[in-house]
A and B are shown apart, each in its own frame.
Chain A
Amino acid sequence: MTGARPSSCRCSATIHQAFADDDVDRVAAHLERCEACSTEWSVLEALASAAKRAAICELSTAAKDELRGKLLMEARAVAKQTPARRSRSMVFALALAAGITAAIGIAVVWRSMPTRARAAQEVMASLRRATIHQRDGARFAILSSQPDEIVRLYEGTIAVDVLPLERGERFRVMTRDAEVEVHGTEFVVSASADKLTLVVVERGLVEVRSGGAAPRIVTATDRWALPENNNAQVVAPSTDVAVSEVAPAPAPAPVSGRRRRALSSGTRSHPRQHEAQVAVDIAGTETSHALQQASPASEEIAFQEGWAALRSGDPIGASRSFASVPPDAALGEDAIFWRGIALARAGRASEATHILEQFLVMFPKSPHRDEAQVNLGHLRHRMGNDTLAAASFVEAQKSANSEIQERAQRGLREIR
């Protein structure tokens, strides 16, 4: 190469880019004031010039004519083949799409099969949005499934990793005195004697509702703990301490026959949940007052049975089970709402309307409020009361949930 290598220049990259962009003016302006780049530029120019002047292949006229003729023949052949090839590709693509559709259809049908019909696999639908890791022999049950998944924690600690929820979906972990509502997060919940004792959020945020206290938002930098005097508070930022060390759970206790059945029926085929159930059944050797309190209450069993019936296509049975849950119980709000839905599915529009109206009066701030309104609108429309139906749809339109908004708008259009 000619000459010594130029000293490096901070704007060398600019020159390289400008050279590539054929930005002659920019290059010239820079080269006038930068000696280093000017030197480098001349070297590069010499390099490119040498490359340009290297031996160049060119086809002779005769070779070109020959090649042109060949090319025309090949191109005509390609042009003729193309439609056939396209049709073959289309057939293949259609077959592939049909196969995928069939596979998805089978999966959907399997998932929507009545749970009792596939009792061998699972009693209720599996938790779709969460993975639960059991810690220190925790005892928990799944009370309901999508779109409103409720995990009932009785004793011990579980780590829950919840995927981002879709529109209209909820995920809650409940104890007797509190509930933790999440929206796509990873957190740890501890309960002792059926009381919420600790919530550690590792990612995202959760809302803790304990007793009559105002809901508390706990983010990844906070944790919620129940102190000695039972006043919930947010304490120092989480330091990722093992929860079992922070809130050791009492020793496991026996589970009565009925309660054991309830727990078993309340859990699904989720492997870790099965592990949890096995641990509960095997470890239950001592009786303690605390754990007797921590066992599923009758209303929870009823709620669970209601859910199972609803999902197995028995809305009448579901409404009966939901009806046996007292309105003031922890699950009372949900039970009334789902009872209304069950009655609606059973075709008993009048009763369903009455129950949903009652629900809205009793729980005006319920998260199910908007969904109840839109369902009420449809029921009223079905019963011929379009004025009230329109009022329900208008209320539902105020929802923050766009899906409910769309349903309400659709309902209004139907009325008009």
Chain B
Amino acid sequence: MTKADKARVIPFRRKQSAIDPLSDEALIAACATGDPNALAQLFDRLCNDVTRFLGRLAYIDSQDVQDCVQDVFLAVFRSASSYRQRSGVKTWVLAIAGNVARERWRKTARGRSVRDQLALDVFRVEGPSLECATVTKDLILRVERSIKTLPHDLRVAFVMCDVEELPGVEVAHALGIPNGTLYRRLHEARQRLRRELDGSEP
């Protein structure tokens, strides 16, 4: 297939008469051809997911979240051609977000506590809800603190599978690890969190 053929088949174009929006996969394919508008569309769809995921990973400072989100989408744009559709686009993007967050944390925010200083003018913060009768505010805060103690791999596995509720098989593909490795990480993360919350040493 020539470049010209690709350009006819894949590019993202906003058609006035189009009823169905382009799928996430089509947007990624358009990104692979270097179409910034496709990236903007993808950003609109996944921005909240990525921001929430980065926040849950609890790596980065609140001031850094915006930059980190930008880095994530730029990384998605650069590596769009490597997307093989073995996992959903959201799973794949969140896996990239995990890597970006770790790298950023290593470079700039090592050791700093996360979300201790929320910038309220930038962020809208949803605090613990009282709607859930079985989950107390205290427990939520303890869980937050406990997640910060997890190693990166365990943290990503727990947040992606248990919190974001992404399918394990897709997550394993997106992270480039065997299913068994993901399950082991997930199991270990849960056990560690339980031990942490029970007050015993991990």
Contact = CB atoms under 8 A, between A and B. Distances in A.
A54 B135 CA distance: 11
A52 B163 CA distance: 5
Nearest to B136: A50
A57 B101 CA distance: 14
B92 interface: no
B74 A55 contact: no
Given A44-B162, A79-B36, A55 B194 contact: no
B128 A54 contact: yes
B198 A5 contact: yes
A17 B161 CA distance: 10
A113 to B, nearest CB: 45
Interface in A46-87: 46-60, 63-64, 67-68, 70-72, 74-76, 78-79, 82
Contact of B70 (A44, A49, A67): A67
Contacts of A68: 40, 43-44
Given A17-B168, A47-B193, A48-B163, A57 B129 contact: no
Contacts of A54: 56, 128, 140-141, 143-144, 147
Size class of the A contact interface (CB-based, 8 Å): 35 or more
B165 A57 contact: no
Interface residues of B, number: 65
Contacts of A75: 36, 39-40, 73-74, 77
B78 interface: yes
For the complex, would chain A's binding face be called helix, strand, loop or mixed by DSSP majority?
helix
A111 interface: no
Interface in A1-38: 1-2, 5, 13, 16-17, 19-22
B123 A49 contact: no
A53 to B, nearest CB: 5
Given A22-B168, A60-B123, A72 B36 contact: yes
Given A51-B159, A53-B132, A58 B48 contact: yes
Interface in B116-159: 118, 121-129, 132, 134-135, 139-144, 147, 158-159
A43 interface: yes
Given A21-B169, A47-B197, A51-B163, 18 more contacts: A20-B182, A21-B167, A21-B168, A22-B168, A48-B162, A50-B140, A51-B140, A54-B147, A58-B48, A59-B48, A59-B51, A63-B122, A68-B40, A70-B70, A72-B36, A72-B39, A72-B40, A75-B40
7 contacts: A44-B190, A51-B56, A51-B159, A59-B51, A59-B66, A72-B40, A82-B34
